[in-house]
Structure 1
């Protein structure tokens, strides 16, 4: 993820802090009022994702170790906190720099996991399989986040293992800035990355593949990317300019990932989180009313609009890491712009949780900036949620950012339905028992007729006060999700939030892997 320094004078921060303190009570009250309004009209479906960065041990693990117990405990604790905050999806970085958080035929074990590249956990186990299982146990989607072209975080090759692509295919690698990269223009590189995606999609129960903004690297002043010879060999006869050829290279990668997922895991979604400005309007009439110094199309050769229009990606998450009203790149303007240019993809907003209370710009020193951005997205029917950068910032950031998110996410939400519709819709589940107990209302049910071989991915329990069932379109009625993918013969749930002397009516609905609901089972009314 790119952190952009918007700049300010050395003397500005004390003034900003003083002005911030004058508005703290007013904005806190505004924020609370806004969030109460959100609770009154909750969304039934919303992608509430969080990026979990493993590079440099930013989020997980806190420190590298080969000890599985410590790795597992750290992941469980992190998921518990994210779930309690209200997130329903994790976007976890499993391949930060041509390394892996899983046993791979294409990459060595990551040093960010075990402390030394190529060193596996001891005793051995499949880390990624465990990470996915734990997310699914908590009813959370797991999207595998990869940085496809990045080979290293610096130029020190002594830290790379013999099995690393740097040593296996040195002719694929180019230095740029202070890092090494795979050369996107080489056909063998695309074949290699196709194998990486196929391995993940065929061997792991992922809900999605995710790329962030790093395609061709961000430009270094005065240093052209060293691929002119590759262009002469592979692109000069087909393309007038090297820039068009570079965009075609990235387009081919995106199309390849789409087709590979379609082959190995068609229910899994492919999402990309591009730099927040595609092009300025001054450069392209279709561009946004911004004055950014760079744009994804021209600097990173990432044409996200083309991918969305072609249907190669299932969701877009533009990184709108600027505040509302920022003159150079206004968050509000960019939300509106992306909502008009999302093509066939769903649109989620990339939020800069890491800036709250920490950035030098005054607006990020006020507690209402992130809630305002959330409310703005929720008021736009073309926006289906957001992803927050990053896990530690949402849990431990300043100005009560976690409290704000908990308030915003106080009502559970289903994940948006996947675009894939090749899965059967679950049959109405069969209620086996609904009875008041001392601890609460006990519900037991089993899969519906016809679901024996293809059981629902999970169930949702709806509760309505009184003797009549309401509509499952009422998200405030959701009281429970079961874990994902358990496939049990029978389920049970105890509703501990009931009050004595009242009647409650319950409906249970099964959902498939694409988060599509079936018809509810027979209603059950209980007096507690």
Structure 2
């Protein structure tokens, strides 16, 4: 993740899916079977002293920003709240996790659990975890070595051995959180690297495609092998792990580096460029570089969905677009000309499921005005993909230039006022440290109830059958029977008391709903449950109300 202050100064800071037609056929059959059972159960009517199902119509998802106690009571549950509330967890340079190299496996796990628990307490619903900082891995891989940011030595696994990515996925899902795997596409070595490179690192196995640029190493995007290697790495993770999303950041061609005379150095890609010319290529060098990046983006989108149709693909580019399209008054670094990232084209072609432009400037900073830039990206969104901006929450720190917490809170409000459906915080360390009470205030003032991640119906626009609920009188539990367990990721639950509606989300692996409070039955009037698919599609509600003899 690259941070830019708006001036010329730059500073850094599993299983293969079934064929789609087969899945759809199975879901249709399950839906019809469940509908028949539901109709028969409804005809039988409620039994005395039990919880009985009721019919109800589906509602259009909306964001519910009011505290649960302020939601108006009605016979029907409110619309399901939807908003992407995520945070980046950086492994590079031990920014967020693990806090330092060479921690024991138990300490690494404890830190991960602490982060996930804090995310739940804040009512976030997604983690964007960096799994490939620099052509290395935080998981066992036959393609790339273990990251030195885990163990202090590239290629050395954690001790005692465990799979950190699998651990993060399981623990996140258990808490109702999505887990998006964040890859850096081309970086091969960072300035923070201290250890030597392992034999399995790309700099050793394919040295001809790696370039030295400034004090970093880079896989050359113009080399077909570099692109294919990155595609292989991403496909391997999607195939083997139950991730909810694949995420790449703003590092395509590297940010410009200046020499000792203060002049920008060109990226040293002459071998690939000369081969392109010799093969008859007729693009100029800048357009050729953009085409290299475009082909990578399009290929990732295609391959991710070939592996698993429901996995979202998101990109977090620099926040300012093409200079020739910018709104009046907006100025700054041109990723189109310097990083060769044609983000507007990706949106127009629909080569992503969500865009997270890094809008890392204050609302009142006119040359990079937060609201104006959000509006700009919205107007470029021809395929109506999700726009979930990155927020520079880590700018809240202990320096003289620190932002106040109100800046981030106001940015959340600004996005909601513009009908925005989500955002991502960079990064977790600022929330974990609760700088200037930002974590506490977000939870108390902005994330006052749980929310589902917005659906991506263009991935899998299929109906999901509603669950069936059975009351266990002895345990005071509702038992959930899923009609489509293979495709159900979450249960969205409304509980109605005399005073309010309360919303919660739990994993579909947890098939009971506790209606007790402090060990005693809560005075519930109604429980409404929807099955939610992996792509966020919501079933018709299964409604149960408490009746008395």
TM band (smaller chain): 0.7 to 0.9
Contact conserved, 1:429 with 1:445, CA < 8 A, in 2?
Answer: no
Counterpart of 2:536 in structure 1 is 515
Instruction: State how far apart, in whole Å, the 2-side matches of 1:216 and 1:395 are.
Output: 32
Contact conserved, 2:7 with 2:332, CA < 8 A, in 1?
Answer: no
Out of 292, 300, 312, the residue aligned to residue 269 of structure 1 is 312
Counterpart of 1:22 in structure 2 is none
Q: Can you give the 5+ residue segments of structure 1 that lack an aligned partner in the other structure?
A: 9-34, 468-475
1:443 deviates by 3.0
Instruction: State how far apart, in whole Å, the 2-side matches of 1:498 and 1:125 are.
Output: 37
1:421 deviates by 4.5
Out of 393, 396, 399, the residue aligned to residue 353 of structure 1 is 393
SS in 2 for 1:522: strand
1:500 deviates by 8.9
2:462 pairs with 1:433: no
1:466 deviates by 4.7
Contact conserved, 1:51 with 1:92, CA < 8 A, in 2?
Answer: yes
Give per-residue Cα distances to partners, 1:101-143, cap 9 Å, x unaligned: 0111111001111111100123322221111111100110000
Contact conserved, 2:348 with 2:382, CA < 8 A, in 1?
Answer: yes
Cα distance 1:205–1:231, how it changes in 2: closer, same or farther (>3 A)?
A: same
SS in 1 for 2:304: helix
Contact conserved, 1:466 with 1:505, CA < 8 A, in 2?
Answer: no
Out of 413, 426, 443, the residue aligned to residue 451 of structure 2 is 413
Q: Can you give the 5+ residue segments of structure 2 that lack an aligned partner in the other structure?
A: 9-64, 72-78
1:498 deviates by 11
Cα distance 1:508–1:397, how it changes in 2: closer, same or farther (>3 A)?
A: closer
Counterpart of 1:480 in structure 2 is 504
1:65 deviates by 2.8
Counterpart of 2:290 in structure 1 is 247
Instruction: State how far apart, in whole Å, the 2-side matches of 1:420 and 1:339 are.
Output: 18
**Structure with greater contact order relative to length (CA < 8 Å, sep ≥ 6):** 2
Cα distance 1:156–1:336, how it changes in 2: closer, same or farther (>3 A)?
A: closer
Counterpart of 1:443 in structure 2 is 477
SS in 1 for 2:4: coil
Out of 197, 204, 227, the residue aligned to residue 241 of structure 2 is 204
Contact conserved, 2:88 with 2:425, CA < 8 A, in 1?
Answer: yes
Larger displacement relative to structure 2 (86-95 or 41-50):
41-50
Larger displacement relative to structure 2 (267-276 or 159-168):
159-168
2:412 pairs with 1:374: yes
Contact conserved, 2:68 with 2:449, CA < 8 A, in 1?
Answer: no
1:158 deviates by 6.0
Cα distance 1:498–1:306, how it changes in 2: closer, same or farther (>3 A)?
A: farther
Contact conserved, 1:148 with 1:215, CA < 8 A, in 2?
Answer: yes
SS in 2 for 1:197: helix
Instruction: State how far apart, in whole Å, the 2-side matches of 1:378 and 1:133 are.
Output: 31
Cα distance 1:157–1:87, how it changes in 2: closer, same or farther (>3 A)?
A: closer
Cα distance 1:498–1:310, how it changes in 2: closer, same or farther (>3 A)?
A: farther
Counterpart of 1:491 in structure 2 is 512
Instruction: State how far apart, in whole Å, the 1-side matches of 2:432 and 2:111 are.
Output: 14
1:229 deviates by 3.1
Out of 487, 490, 508, the residue aligned to residue 458 of structure 1 is 490
Counterpart of 1:11 in structure 2 is none
Cα distance 1:235–1:213, how it changes in 2: closer, same or farther (>3 A)?
A: farther
Contact conserved, 1:267 with 1:420, CA < 8 A, in 2?
Answer: no
Instruction: State how far apart, in whole Å, the 1-side matches of 2:369 and 2:461 are.
Output: 40
Larger displacement relative to structure 2 (189-198 or 172-181):
189-198
1:327 deviates by 2.5
Counterpart of 1:25 in structure 2 is none
SS in 2 for 1:51: strand
Out of 274, 296, 301, the residue aligned to residue 335 of structure 2 is 296
Larger displacement relative to structure 2 (214-223 or 135-144):
214-223
Out of 108, 113, 119, the residue aligned to residue 76 of structure 1 is 113
Larger displacement relative to structure 2 (286-295 or 169-178):
286-295
SS in 2 for 1:457: strand
1:384 deviates by 1.4
* 1:31-110 correspondence runs (5 A): 44-65=81-102, 67-110=104-147
Counterpart of 1:178 in structure 2 is 215
1:279 deviates by 2.4
SS in 1 for 2:129: strand
Contact conserved, 1:150 with 1:182, CA < 8 A, in 2?
Answer: yes
Contact conserved, 1:52 with 1:390, CA < 8 A, in 2?
Answer: yes
2:3 pairs with 1:3: yes
1:192 deviates by 1.0
1:510 deviates by 1.0
SS in 1 for 2:375: helix
Instruction: State how far apart, in whole Å, the 2-side matches of 1:200 and 1:478 are.
Output: 36
Instruction: State how far apart, in whole Å, the 2-side matches of 1:48 and 1:175 are.
Output: 37
Larger displacement relative to structure 2 (512-521 or 122-131):
122-131
Contact conserved, 2:199 with 2:205, CA < 8 A, in 1?
Answer: yes
Counterpart of 2:380 in structure 1 is 341
Instruction: State how far apart, in whole Å, the 2-side matches of 1:156 and 1:520 are.
Output: 52
Counterpart of 1:32 in structure 2 is none
* 1:17-32 correspondence runs (5 A): none
Counterpart of 1:325 in structure 2 is 364
Out of 367, 373, 392, the residue aligned to residue 429 of structure 2 is 392
2:268 pairs with 1:231: no
SS in 2 for 1:90: strand
Cα distance 1:397–1:466, how it changes in 2: closer, same or farther (>3 A)?
A: closer
